[in-house]
Amino acid sequence: MSTDQHPEAKGRAGGRVVVVTGGARGIGRAIVDRFTTEGASVIIGDLTDPGEVATGLDMTGQREWITLDVTDELSVQEFAKSVATGHGGVDVLVNNAGIMDTRTLANETVADWDHTMAVNLRGPFLMAKHLVPLMDGRSDSAIVNIGSIEGIGANALHASYAASKAGVHGLTRALAVDLGPVGIRCNAVAPGWIDTDLNRNYVDKHPNQAQAVTDLASLHPVGRIGDPADVAAAVLWLASPDAGFVTGQVITVDGGRMTRLSIPASLADD
């Protein structure tokens, strides 16, 4: 429940019930960690057991794992029933589960395309559809979707991913309009290059990894690539009463990367 309902709760999310999809690793794991640190009870919805990803992870007390396939409506319905039974309701839903593949248009099959859309876009829709009823009557309920700067621009060979994340941004605005009258805010965070296992594996394939990291950092006015904790901090704020007048927004967390205009190296100042 919210801190208004539990005034004795400690932390910025004290006493709140938070659902995080895809919370076993990466950005999702950082979001789970931040909310639990701030006093929330967090339910991780994931196909992967978080304890298998992080050996020795304490899954007692403030966090628990319920198996979830966000692409399957029956799985989402069963997840919602388990949450309702265990917690009575939900204060915050974080739709983080997502996938990304790199393919040419010619190599992208209909099955590939549909799978990306199912995880990245159908998932947030189904989670909102079946968990919004659990937010009924709870003060300052919020949905935070994890979009991407590729919902604003695009990298090469990412047609399905960029399209799905643009859809997440559109869904965010639509939910903000539809759910605002019942007291539920909906926003999205669009991360840039974040130091996750997925992105680290991409860098590891480069023959000069140190140079690759340096070059990536140079794209960002803040002079570094992002950390999952950077995204988690933005999600926490959007889910908190401090953002009570913020809804329908896509907050870019990219170290300024999308703000800096590109220029050919031959014309760049030293």
CA gap 209, 227 in Å, rounded: 18
Among the listed residues 42, 161, 162, 255, the single catalytic one is 161
The alpha-helical segments, DSSP class H, found in 39-122 are: 50-53, 73-87, 110-117
CA gap 70, 18 in Å, rounded: 16
CB 198 within 8 A of CB 189: no
Residue 202 among the catalytic residues = no
Sequence-ordered list of residues with C-beta below 8 angstroms from that of 71, at least 6 positions apart, any chain: 115, 118, 119, 122, 123, 126
What residue type is 43 in one-letter code? I
CB 64 within 8 A of CB 53: no
CB 167 within 8 A of CB 228: no
Helix count and strand count (H, E) for the chain: 9, 7
Give catalytic residue positions: 161
